[in-house]
Amino acid sequence: MKKILFLAVISISTFTFSQSYKTAIGLKGGFPGFGSLNAKHYLKGSHAIEASIGGNLNFIWLQGIYEVNKSLPTDGMNWYLGVGPSIGITNTNGNTTDGLYLMGTGLIGIEYTFQDLPINISLDTGPSIQIIPNAGFGWGGGLAVRYTLK
């Protein structure tokens, strides 16, 4: 009986997720987006959404990612998988919009939330499949530094 109870506790603890914040807001650099405002918000349990907006004078880019997060043995550290759309609009001639870009992105990442500071950092990477204007495949990733809100 003790062995069964021990195995049950180990199994349950493997599948639980403990987040140390509800929402985090900050900056994310990398591809696509090159530098963007970024926010991550937990919906329920281990499920979260992450949104980014970035660009420059000739380009604006928006991305939404749905993520599933899993704890790692180190306090404050977890890994995640995510998928979602990205949309970009370019304007290189100064008068009209040149083009619309639409892509799907998948990612895998790791994040750490400091125990004594309201700071969260994450690093992720994954494929991007461009649909509009031309079909194409790429690989990107990013580094985010965010302020956490409980």
Q: Using one digit for the tens of pLDDT, what is the confidence trace for 18-54? A: 567 899 999 999 876 578 999 999 998 899 999 999 9
Query: Could you give the percent of the chain with pLDDT greater than 90?
Result: 55
pTM, to two decimals: 0.78
Torsion of CA 107, 121, 37, 53, to 10 degrees: 0
Query: Domain ranges in the chain?
Result: 17-149
3-state SS class at 62: strand
CATH number 2.40.160.20 is the correct assignment for the domain at 17-149: yes
Peptide bond into 118 cis (omega under 30): no
Confidence of residue 64 (pLDDT cuts 50, 70, 90): very high
* Distance between CA atoms of residues 54 and 29, nearest Å: 9
Residue-wise pLDDT tens digits, 81-112: 999 999 988 877 666 557 888 999 999 999 99
Cα(28)–Cα(38) distance, integer angstroms: 6
Single out the residue of 65, 29, 27, 24 nearest to residue 142, CA to CA: 29
| Distance in angstroms (rounded) separating the CA atoms of residues 7 and 136 | 47
- The Cβ of residue 109 has, within 10 Å, a number of other Cβ atoms equal to 22
Looking at residue 20, its pLDDT comes to 76
pLDDT at 13 over 60: no
Which pLDDT does position 11 carry in this prediction?
39
Strand-pairing partners, residue 94, are none
Tracing tokens 């979260």 back to the chain, one arrives at 48
